[in-house]
Chain A
Amino acid sequence: MANFFPRTSNWLPIKLLVALICLGSTGALGVTYYATQKYTRVGYQPTQPVPFDHSLHAGQLGIDCRYCHFGVEQSSHSNVPTTQVCMTCHNQVKQNSEKLELVRESWDEGEAIEWVRIHKAPDYVYFNHAVHVNSGVSCVDCHGQIQEMEEVWHAESLSMGFCLECHRNPEKYIRPIEEVTNMEWSAGSTQEQCELGEELVEDWKINPPEHCAGCHR
């Protein structure tokens, strides 16, 4: 019987196999890269040069966020405190603590402490802290329960979908301005939050931008 198939077709199963493997591994790689939490950095928790404990300072001691992050109400950027801010207390409290070695060194030498960055919006996103905290968006909404974290981790995805969720339905999130830095505050049930939120949205004429130029320019 004559050969129906040309000789080259002998390679076909192998070629198909290779193609399938390539496709499969590309797919797997894609899913691993894009579809896991790591892509949005949720859970990212690097070790900081100084073991600063938010659960102690913000939680137990109840220091207001703005004591250290003092620029947050005026600036696009919520500043990481300077060594001088640390030293306002620590020149009295825990003067000789080993954990504060680097802070004292920085204060004496005038060299900056290199904190490891956890939250970062991409370069093409122009996020502004001031307008959010002045519109009743709490620190908790993006950064999670910082007052319970010994070492801070990345709690929310901070992806565009995450932003739009609130920009489209601000009433689900906003709260009275005086409660913005109150990490424990809650309006009560979802129903109660929405009622309060709707009232605030109307009173304050909250109109979060949903167009590109709101954040990208």
Chain B
Amino acid sequence: MKTIIEHPPVEKLANGGKAYWRSLADYSESNEFHQWLDREFPAGASEFWGDGVSRRNFLRLMGASMALAGFGMASCRRPEAAVVAFSKTPEWQIPGVRIPFATAMPRRDGAQPLLVQSFDGRPIKIEGNPLHPLGNGKSDTFAQSSLLDLYDPDRSSRFVKEGETATEADFISAFTGAAQGWKAERGAKLAILAEATPSPTTQRLIEDFKKQYPQAKWVTYEPAQSGNDAQAVEAAFGPDVRLRLESKKAEAILAFDSDFLGGSQSDLSVVRGFAKGRSVKKPTDAMNRLYVVEPAYSITGGMADHRAPLKAVDIPAAIAAFASEVAALTGNGSLSAMVSGLSKSALPGLDPQWLKESAKDLVSKKGNVAVLVGANYPVAVQALVLAINDALDAFKSVLVPVPWKSMSTATLSELTKMMDRGSVDSLVILGGNPCYNSPAGLNFSEALKKLKTLVHLSTHEDETSLCAHWHVPMAHYLESWGDAFDAAGRAISIQPLILPLFGGLSIDQVLSLMTGEVPDGVEGKEVDPYFKGPELVQATFAKEMSLTPDTYPFRTAWKKYVREGFDNEGKVKPASTAFNPGSLGSFVAKDRKVFTPSQADALEVVFRADSSMDDGRYNNNGWLMEMPDPITKLTWDNAVLMSPATAEKLELEEKLEEGIYKGQVITLSVNGNEITAPIHIVPGFAEGSLTLPLGYGRTVTGRVGEGAGFSAYQLMGSEGDYALAGVSVEPTADFYDFAITQEHWSMEGRGIVRQGPIEYYRKNDKFAHKQGLESHTPPNRSFYETPYETARKAIENGEPYDEAVYSSVHQWGMAIDLTTCTGCQACVVACQSENNIPIVGKDQVQKGREMHWMRLDRYFTATVENNGHKEDLSKFKVESKFNNGPDKLVVPNAPEMVTQPILCMQCENAPCETVCPVNATVHTNEGLNAMAYNRCIGTRYCANNCPYKVRRFNWFDYNQRQLDQLYISGRVKEQGWVETFKRPLGPKGTEELTKMSKNPNVTVRMRGVIEKCTFCVQRLEEAKINHKIKRENRTTGNIMVPTDSVQTACQQACPAEAITFGNLQDKNSKVVEVRERKHAYKLLDYLNTRPRVSYLAKLKNPNPAMPGADLVGMSLINATSHGDHGGHDDHGDHGKSHDHDDHSDAEDHGGHH
């Protein structure tokens, strides 16, 4: 019998808007959105190309050509293949067994400790180093996807001299020769430009370099890390110190435009610590609190309990106002003195009550709080924030000084001037791409032309390489020896897993050529292998540990260092410095005008390192390029981001046609610089603030990055700009097509994301069960015992052996905590890397064909008050552009954000399995919804029947495509039939290099096959096998894998530890405890699919004294309990049951129905 599920109507707010929505189109229920909701793909997605030739016609054509080709069987048998064993057996290596190596990814703010899995000599998966106390086995998107950078076929593969290919020996003799000359002049006209690479060996070599070339300049340039914060910290704490956030000790944090939970932070202990302080097991647990003031929505903003959008140029004024509140409450003398001279004019856009109440809250928790500000804000602002933190006693335990050295002796703008004047005529660039990422206002590229010698070391032949006299390929960190400091100042070792694929050099190697630490024997002929070994790092290690190289204690310590990846006994010397506010006042006094609020209607642009491209360095990385931005869900592009209110005011438009977002193209100009770029409208951005993500619009890049987005550097005036006021906007008539995934895979059904404030949860700990339709239905009860319940009883009662029972000792299950999930996408990339998921290209993303098995659904939500509460008008101002629904729908300008990771729920009662005509998707006796790719014939019935929309279809051989032959421009009619026809049938064959990144334990799927998450079944099988092959386990019949010893890729990556996974039969497993928490719920439980994935409702901890606190986290609760049910006839009944919902406290809800 066919069951027709009648979905309840959507929970609505009093004004007719939805309680939770993914996009403006969703909010206003436009027809375009319904396409994404009702269908798996929008209309026409299964059409071959846009101009009317259908798939059926294509098959007819193909049939004809097939008949012509004929069929032969001669070559059908399996061809002869060779088994190639090594000649000499490599140490430790058994073919087919992966070996993990500890190493680290160097980053500008400290290295991320990693454990890299090597399979038959190829690194195939990057994971966090579980031994390292900061990393704790976690890793972020950039670390995960750096694997693809190693295997990037567009990497620089040659030494280039003036545009001609040269050899390494040529370079070394030319370079060492030139170095002799520079040395003779004591480095007078020499400068080195490098990225921030905090590393003991590099720093040792730099010290040595500075001795040998005393007059040379060392310039560090990082567009996303101006060093303003370091300057203020140095004034307060003395040199070589920086502050580290011990987030687990913080009870409350106020972040002024500081994305400390997202961004490219290498220190994941910050996220983990914050999540620990936020995760709630039972109603009595305490929860930390986060206040955020920011111009653009960030991951941190999404986690906030109270978030206020405010223009970046007004943030210093907000900080000043906050500082005076704190000064008044604490009576801190130096802070009072600092704020006394600052402007007290009212701040438009931020309720004064907001700052007053948050200050009260922070002062009451004094000692366990911190105030943070974005690193690129001016020194005066940084200084004031330090003084606030001092007044709040933050330096006692929350903000800890750690040793940190900055090597820079000049800034980029000083260097540019010196090059212009001719006082620098030789420049060595060690990493980095200043011709692209220097501010347009500096005219750096022009200055470069005056140089006599320019040597450029980089991973790609990029914009800067084109100007250079010598381009040197740089070795990837997985190819070179090195070391680095982690965020706490501890040394971590970097060891190569593979020889340099293209013979690149590391920064340390190039530096050692200059300092002469290279032994003799170079002389332009044979390069001594000594130069490429670990000796440079060993020399540093010996010095640090005060050991003599080549002695037994040294070798023991070194082996441990390399094997474990860091030096555990090492000296993370707590900086022996005390806070000294003395000089901070002068910073503030010098730059008082920065604290003046701007005009209410003035526009500003804000520069942001992009969530995928960072500052542009990951531009040719396909995984990152196709990773949807956590906030905008934009792929393959950047856009000028603004709120609906700003767009309304500027009369700009974004259209949604055929499921594709089309942003109006505008011309932005500031101080004579001008760029043309499309806009994208996102709620929650400050009114009048335009956000420009950096890192796109590269002119010389690889095949992935080519043509993606625009370069925001073209608008920057000088180094370290964080925002610019005085922008003018000129609309054009053009529209630009984006590939935005925010509406893809929308789910029909109610109460998908659930959240509530913690106080509500304390009163009503099962509230999460009663949102959505489950507030109307009794819990699902089955007449039948599941096999795994039978198995558990049998095992507990010691019943005689039965194979069926013991096949069920593993029952895999997962729980995801929405309270701690930040939405950073590390899980998505980890899944992509582990499971050989291809990228599909922009055009395919537009058609909803992205292949990510795991996705992060981002919802916005806001409450409209009703039933006697005051209407919070400040939040609802703007009429929707997309409005097809109720009249005069207004869009909240400061909605909350909730992110929800969605993967296959592994339903025990899976709707997909019953519809497969070929049994390609079946249930395993471990509770997995298995997928046999070799059996799948691609009917897509399963995807059609999946309520969670987690099944992906391989429309084409994505895994077979070359980087520049991704399926593009299928819709472009002008290209003509032949051209569009060719695209999908274009040249095949992946680069050998790309193939090397594939996980050999997972099938590389071909076209015409459905694929999906399997809870990383390859890892589960491996864990079971590794347990079984231990003879003591086998012969004692111990077949259950040790508790929580196996992790899925997403769980392993998650920096917030929001994902728990384990065996449900194992009572000690953490996942069992998490799934039984009171606020756990299952997605669309009323469908009785019995998902194996549970969610913990998102809890918020609003401060009741704050303005609007009664609205935080309440939207769905308000909507379901009081809201208009949108056309329910039996309204009275529902009203009753809702009353009941609200007041049935600890009782089992199901019993009442």
Q: Which listed residue, A38, A204, A217, touches B1003 by the CB 8 Å rule?
A: A217
Chain B residue with Cβ nearest A79:
B95
Q: Knowing A124-B1003, A202-B801, A217-B1001, say if A115 contacts B1037 (CB, 8 Å).
A: no
A94 contacts the other chain (CB 8 A): no
Query: Which residues of B are found within 8 Å of A83, using beta-carbon distances?
Result: 85-88
Interface locus among B378-386, B658-666, B920-928:
B920-928
Chain A residues, Cβ within 8 Å of B935? 212, 216
Q: Secondary structure of the B side of the interface?
A: loop
- Count chain A CB atoms within 10 A of each CB in B95, B935, B1029 and give the residue with the most: B1029
Contact B85 A201 (CB under 8 A): no
Counting CB contacts under 8 A, is A74 at the interface? yes
- Specify which chain B residues have a CB less than 8 angstroms from the CB of A74 in the assembled complex: 94, 97, 1029
Q: How far is the CB of B83 from chain A (nearest CB, A)?
A: 4
List chain B residues, Cβ under 8 A from A84.
86-89
Q: How far does the alpha carbon of A5 sit from the alpha carbon of B77 in the complex, in Å? A: 47
Interface pair A110/B87, CB less than 8 Å apart: yes
Contact A207 B1039 (CB under 8 A): yes
Q: Is B956 an interface position by the 8 A CB rule? A: no
Assembled-state Cα–Cα distance A209/B930 (Å)? 13
Given known A38-B77, A134-B1034, contact A217–B1002 (CB-CB < 8 A): yes
Are the C-beta atoms of A213 and B1003 separated by less than 8 Å?
A: no
Report the separation of the CA atoms of residues A122 and B925 in the bound assembly, to the nearest whole angstrom: 24
A114, A128, A177, A210: which contacts B1034 (Cβ < 8 A)? A177
Residues from chain A with a CB closer than 8 A to the CB of B78 are 41, 120
Tell me the minimal C-beta distance from B1022 to chain A in angstroms: 9
Near B by CB (< 8 A), chain A positions 109-125 give 109-117, 120, 122-124
Q: Is B84 an interface residue (CB 8 A)?
A: yes
Contacting B at CB under 8 A, from A89-132, are: 106-107, 109-117, 120, 122-124, 126, 128, 130-131
Distance of A111 from chain B, by nearest CB (Å): 6
Q: Is B1025 an interface residue when CB atoms closer than 8 A count as contact?
A: yes
CB-nearest residue of chain B relative to A198?
B801
Q: A202-B801, A207-B1039, A211-B924 are in contact. Are A71 and B96 (CB under 8 A)?
A: yes
The one of B73, B76, B930 that contacts A212, using a Cβ cutoff of 8 Å: B930
Please encode chain B, from 93 to 124, with 1 for each CB lying within 8 Å of some chain A CB and 0 for all others. 01111000000000000000000000000000
Q: Are B84 and A126 neighbours in the complex by a CB distance under 8 Å?
A: no
Shortest distance in angstroms between B999's beta carbon and chain A's nearest beta carbon? 10
Contacting pair A75 B1039 (CB below 8 A): no
Residues of A within 8 A of B95 (CB): 71, 75, 77, 79
Q: Given that A82-B88, A116-B82 are contacting pairs, would A211 and B922 also be in contact in the complex, using a CB cutoff of 8 Å?
A: yes
Return the chain A residue nearest B925 by Cβ. A211
Q: For the complex, what is the distance from the CA of A84 to the CA of B1025, rounded to whole Å?
A: 29
Task: Name the segment of B14-22, B539-547, B730-738, B1013-1021 touching the other chain.
Answer: B1013-1021
Looking across the interface, which residue of chain A has its beta carbon closest to that of B1002? A217
A197 to B1096, CA, bound (A): 47
Interface membership of A33, Cβ < 8 A: yes
Residue in B85, B97, B924, B1031 whose beta carbon sits within 8 Å of that of A115 in the complex: B85
B899-932, CB < 8 A from A: 922-926, 928, 930-932
Tell whether B81 is near chain A: CB-to-CB under 8 Å: yes
B80 at the interface (CB under 8 A from A): yes
B73 touches A29 (CB 8 A): yes
In the bound complex, residues from chain B placing their C-beta under 8 Å from that of A135 are 1028, 1034
Q: A84-B88, A84-B89 are in contact. Are A212 and B96 (CB under 8 A)?
A: no
Contact B87 A82 (CB under 8 A): yes
- A81: chain B residues at CB < 8 Å are 85
A203 within 8 A of B: yes
Are B1039 and A205 within 8 A (Cβ)?
yes
Q: In the complex, what distance in Å separates the CA atom of A216 from the CA atom of B931?
A: 8
**Known contacts A77-B96, A131-B1025, A216-B934; is-contact A116 B1031 (Cβ 8 Å):** no
Chain B residues within 8 Å of A43, by CB: none
Q: A148 at interface (Cβ–Cβ under 8 A)?
A: no
Pairwise interchain contact A112-B85, C-beta atoms closer than 8 A: yes
Distance of A136 from chain B, by nearest CB (Å): 9
A53 within 8 A of B: no
Which of A114, A124, A130 touches B1029 (beta carbons < 8 Å)? A130
Task: Return chain A residues, CB-CB under 8 Å to B924.
Answer: 209, 211-214
Shortest A84–chain B CB gap in Å is 5
Q: A74-B1029, A131-B1029, A204-B1035 are in contact. List 4 more A-B contacts (CB 8 A).
A: A120-B81, A134-B1029, A201-B803, A211-B930
B residues sitting closer than 8 Å to A (CB atoms) are 73, 76-78, 80-89, 94-97, 801, 803, 806-807, 922-926, 928, 930-935, 1001-1003, 1014, 1017-1018, 1021, 1025, 1028-1029, 1031, 1034-1035, 1037-1039
Residues of A participating in the B interface, judged by any CB pair closer than 8 Å:
29, 33, 38, 41, 46, 70-71, 73-77, 79-85, 106-107, 109-117, 120, 122-124, 126, 128, 130-131, 134-135, 177, 201-207, 209-214, 216-217
